[in-house]
């Protein structure tokens, strides 16, 4: 008989905790949720004040039986699921199944899985936080109602099997809206003039860019304006009118929250959100690191707080002062956003002495990369600012002003270890200009006008979409990754070279939802609902009241839409391809993998075939049409229509006019990829055997 039974979600977490406790303590895993709403029906009793109809998850019967048996034999049961709303809900369901009284102090949480924290937490159990479970229930129930009420509209008007989610639909809308912005964007012409100047004494060249006239900023829009300026300054002297010297400071980024970790891992490591969370989960739950045994390497990875404990702050100070010197340390506090759930710390390493390089041999390559990112970001967050010396000079020629700016890094500070990279941002460089004096003449070497055009907004990447969702108050740390994964799997969007692009199916679904459910598929509404979930978690509002207020107007809207769309049929796009079986003109339909051609005479004629996408550039080998195809994983490749017959052209890269194709180079690249993949696989196998 075990004195204590501790139940966690995952076997990895169970194994780590087991090694800390030993003795007569038994640790078991629930393997995630054990009860949920049924898949076959809505599972919400609307007539009975929205009471959820939970059932045991299929396939977990034996596990539940074992948990009940061990709980009955244990003197004390502790529910140690993850320290967030989802974890609290799993603990609540476990308590229900194991018949643990509501007032029982059975709940323990670990923000970090270390021996000290685990032992300390078990000494201070608490009751299950009903406010947190209610907040999770409210989200689950509301999302189930939205999905079950709106999805049938999509089945009738688009195709069966489609589904609509509250947060997912907003994410799709953002991507569709951004694509529309790009398509409707009209580039505007603008010009700049760059003057290469020489300082006479040092003979050093430097570049100044056009600023304006008579100290006023002047934008140049046409070539005629450029010619007018060039004519006005053609014979003028370039005189240094003003010099300003100063200092610029750059502050380190805060330690990671879930969203900033996902964004930075995407930018710096090329990780998808799903991969980042999976690797982080493994680091949190425990990794075997030699003589230290199995330890959790990072704190809990679902958080939107930038707070760190005083103990962690002290550990960071020791490392920084010993490794870099006292001048590199700065005791720094970061302000957490007002709507953040501040129950947990920021994501940081649990043991500062376990430096990434020292434990690299015990980690997989992905674990090492992410752990190093988290470790360095945390240490850098407690380091001194970087300091630049700056110089700005104003150079005048016939009332026209040019500016030349320079900067030199004087003190690296935190940048000696880590620099955050923001979307589209270039790394700061040292730019030197020669020593200049006010009133001095500098010599013109050349003038170079440059024409440019304004660019459309960039398409979202996983990283920038997470940033947008967070800024708009949509979703929470635990929802970003599953949201984007879901809309990719439903093929509402696709990923090309990290960019998220709406599919035709995604555009149709978005149009139908936005036109008919504008009150629900709405950024402000979704953000407001998130705030109400937070109020439930804080005990300020009953969860059923939130559902009641939402449901009444929503139900009327659904009834209205169903009535309006009853006799409306979406017009199918007719192609210019004739059905070879019955002669009708084939129509464009949307399936799981995108567009395809189908005969409108279905079910009499069941002819269907794929739509072949081609590009304008001819095959560089035989001049035939080049088709665009996709691998099973969605990566594009280019193949000649005659491939397998009279031509062997196939390439990952789109052909360019006049470019020669090198088949040996393509084969070598594929061979190298296969070899690298195989080598990595063998390396992992060897490591696991050890």
Q: From CA 295, how far away is CA 292, in angstroms rounded?
A: 7
How many CB atoms sit inside 10 A of residue 307's CB?
18
Length of the chain: 690
Active site residue 300: yes
Name the burial class of residue 162, with classes exposed (0-12), middle (13-18) and buried (19+) by CB atoms within 10 angstroms of its CB. Answer: buried
Please tell me the distance from the alpha carbon of residue 249 to that of residue 386, in angstroms, as a whole number.
6
d(CA 206, CA 195): 8
Rg of the chain over all Cα atoms, to the nearest angstrom: 31
What φ, ψ does residue 221 adopt, rounded to 5°?
Answer: -110, -25
- CA–CA separation, 43 and 189 (whole Å): 58
Nearest by Cα to 207 from 433, 441, 449: 433
Q: Which residues contact 128 (CB under 8 A, 6 or more apart)?
A: 79, 88, 91, 92, 95, 102, 106, 107
Contact 351, 114 (CB under 8 A): yes
State which H helix or E strand residue 485 sits in: helix 480-489
Q: Omega before 603 cis (within 30°)? A: yes
How many angstroms separate the CA atoms of 356 and 289, rounded?
Answer: 11
Q: How far, in Å, are 251, 252, 316, 398, 499 from residue 330 at the CA level? A: 11, 11, 10, 49, 38
17-51 b/e with 16+ CB inside 10 Å = b?
bbbbbeeebbbbbbeebbbbbeeeebbbeeeeebe
Catalytic residue among 54, 284, 300, 328: 300
Q: CA-CA distance, 419 to 427, in Å (whole number)?
A: 9
d(CA 622, CA 512): 45
Question: How far is 576 from 661, CA to CA, in rounded Å?
Answer: 33
Identify whether the C-beta of residue 488 lies closer than 8 Å to the C-beta of residue 494. yes
Q: How far apart are CA 141 and CA 136, in angstroms?
A: 9
For residue 242, the SS3 value is strand
Q: Which residues are catalytic?
A: 300
């Amino acid at each position: 008989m075990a004195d204590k039974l501790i139940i966690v979600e995952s076997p990895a977490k169970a194994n780590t905790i087991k090694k800390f406790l030993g003795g007569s303590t038994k640790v078991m895993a629930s393997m995630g949720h054990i009860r949920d709403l049924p898949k076959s029906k809505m599972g919400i009793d609307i007539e009975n004040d929205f009471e959820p109809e939970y059932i045991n998850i299929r396939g977990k019967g034996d596990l539940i039986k074992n948990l009940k048996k061990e709980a009955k034999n244990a003197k004390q049961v502790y529910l140690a699921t993850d320290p967030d709303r989802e974890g609290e809900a799993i603990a609540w369901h476990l308590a229900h199944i194991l018949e643990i009284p509501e007032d029982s102090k059975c709940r323990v949480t670990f923000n970090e899985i270390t021996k000290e924290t685990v032992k300390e937490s078990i000494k201070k159990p608490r009751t299950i936080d009903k406010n947190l479970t209610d907040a999770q229930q409210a989200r689950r129930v509301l999302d189930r109602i939205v999905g079950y009420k709106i999805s049938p509209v999509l089945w009738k008007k688009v195709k069966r099997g489609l589904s609509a989610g509250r947060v997912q639909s907003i994410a799709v809308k953002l991507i569709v809206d951004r694509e529309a912005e790009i398509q409707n964007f009209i580039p505007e012409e603008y010009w700049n003039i760059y003057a290469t100047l020489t300082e006479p004494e040092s003979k050093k060249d430097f570049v100044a860019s056009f600023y304006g006239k008579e100290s006023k900023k002047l934008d140049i829009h046409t070539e005629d304006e450029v010619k007018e300026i060039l004519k006005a300054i053609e014979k003028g002297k370039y005189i240094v009118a003003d010099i300003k010297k100063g200092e610029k400071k750059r502050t380190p980024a805060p330690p990671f929250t879930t969203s900033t970790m996902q964004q930075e891992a995407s930018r710096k490591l090329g990780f998808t959100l799903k991969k980042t969370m999976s690797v982080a989960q493994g680091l949190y739950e425990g990794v075997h690191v030699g003589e230290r045994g199995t330890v959790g390497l990072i704190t809990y990875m679902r958080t939107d707080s930038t707070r760190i404990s005083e103990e962690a702050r002290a550990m960071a100070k020791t490392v920084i002062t010993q490794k870099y010197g006292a001048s590199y340390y700065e005791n720094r506090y970061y302000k957490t956003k007002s709507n953040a759930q501040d129950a947990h710390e920021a994501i940081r390493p649990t043991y500062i002495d376990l430096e990434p390089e020292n434990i690299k041999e015990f980690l997989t390559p992905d674990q090492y990369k992410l752990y190093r990112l988290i470790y360095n970001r945390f240490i850098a967050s407690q380091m001194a600012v970087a300091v630049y010396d700056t110089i700005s000079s104003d150079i005048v020629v016939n009332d026209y002003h040019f500016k030349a700016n320079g900067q030199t890094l004087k003190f690296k500070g935190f940048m000696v270890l880590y620099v955050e990279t923001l979307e589209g941002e270039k790394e700061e460089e040292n730019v030197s200009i020669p020593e200049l004096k006010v009133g001095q003449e500098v010599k013109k070497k050349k003038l170079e006008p440059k024409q440019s055009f304004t660019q459309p907004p960039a398409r979202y990447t996983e990283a920038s979409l997470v940033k947008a969702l967070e800024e708009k108050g949509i979703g929470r740390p635990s929802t970003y990754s599953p949201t984007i994964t879901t809309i990719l799997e439903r093929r509402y969007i696709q990923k090309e070279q990290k960019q998220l692009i709406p599919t035709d199916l995604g555009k149709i679904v978005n149009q139908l939802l936005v036109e008919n459910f504008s009150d629900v598929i709405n950024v402000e509404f979704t953000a407001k609902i998130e705030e109400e979930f937070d109020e439930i978690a804080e005990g300020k509002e009953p969860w059923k009241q939130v559902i009641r207020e939402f449901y009444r107007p929503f139900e009327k809207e659904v009834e209205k839409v169903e009535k309006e769309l009853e006799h409306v049929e979406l017009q199918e796009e007719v192609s210019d391809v004739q059905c070879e079986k019955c002669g009708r003109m084939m129509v464009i339909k949307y399936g799981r993998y995108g567009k395809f051609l189908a005969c409108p005479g279905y079910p009499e004629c069941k002819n269907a075939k794929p739509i072949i996408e081609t590009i304008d550039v001819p095959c560089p080998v035989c001049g035939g049409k080049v088709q665009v195809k996709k691998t099973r994983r969605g990566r594009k490749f280019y193949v000649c229509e005659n491939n397998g017959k009279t031509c062997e052209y196939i390439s990952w890269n789109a052909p360019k006019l006049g470019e020669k194709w090198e088949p040996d180079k393509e084969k070598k690249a594929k061979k190298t990829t296969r070899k690298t993949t195989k080598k990595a696989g063998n390396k992992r196998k060897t490591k696991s055997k050890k």
